Copies of this chain bind each other. A is one copy, B any other.
């Protein structure tokens, strides 16, 4: 059974150790869910509307995995010293299934956020469109930055790319300048690959 302690991080760990725990816990969470999907299919619960039903289940499972991953990341950052513990938003935007020119808000931890972001707009839209991580030391210097929260000073956005297309982004805001480093970039890109492999987008 998934337990809240999965998102409890000991004090005094290095960033490398904390990211190691995030990836390990995320793998365990996703594995459990994939097994569950298999069980449902094997039990013959698949209706005649199999494709539709599969898509609905995929989206629901996706939301569930992303919700737990946002929690893992939030608690990981808050177990670390400054600037990591000044992270003020961690979450996901997913590509809108009906209007693929925009991103729509997914599960997150932090304050209320913008519900849609156009591809190419702001840090999130730029990462999604370019399929490249955006590591922004000072959001005020990023052309077209969308200020959902005026407290945010720096940001990292990592695209989740599947079959060559952006399906979602990981978005993390920090209330300090220079909140993120190459170490964050490398670990979060590994997490994005894991999400692309493990979740049916």
A residues apposed to B, CB below 8 Å: 1-8, 25, 29, 32-33, 36, 40, 45-47, 51-57, 59-61, 63-64, 67-68, 71-72, 75, 89, 91, 94, 96-99, 104-116, 148-151
Q: Contacting A115 at CB < 8 Å: which of B33, B57, B104, B111?
A: B33
Q: Would B97 and A53 count as touching, CB distance under 8 A?
A: yes
When distances are taken between beta carbons in the complex, the residues of chain B under 8 Å from A97 are 53, 56-57, 60
Q: Would A68 and B112 count as touching, CB distance under 8 A?
A: yes
When distances are taken between beta carbons in the complex, the residues of chain B under 8 Å from A112 are 2-4, 6-7, 25, 29, 68, 71-72
When distances are taken between beta carbons in the complex, the residues of chain B under 8 Å from A75 are 111
Shortest Cβ distance from A131 into chain B, in angstroms?
21
Shortest Cβ distance from A150 into chain B, in angstroms?
8
Give the CA-CA distance A6 to B75 in the complex, in Å.
23
Q: Would B57 and A55 count as touching, CB distance under 8 A?
A: no
When distances are taken between beta carbons in the complex, the residues of chain B under 8 Å from A110 are 4, 71
Which residue of chain B lies nearest to A88 when distances are taken between CB atoms in the complex? B4
Q: Would A98 and B4 count as touching, CB distance under 8 A?
A: no
A-B contact pairs, 21 of them (CB 8 A): A1-B114, A2-B113, A4-B89, A6-B112, A7-B111, A36-B115, A46-B98, A51-B52, A52-B55, A54-B98, A55-B55, A60-B96, A60-B97, A63-B106, A67-B105, A67-B107, A67-B108, A68-B115, A71-B108, A75-B111, A107-B107
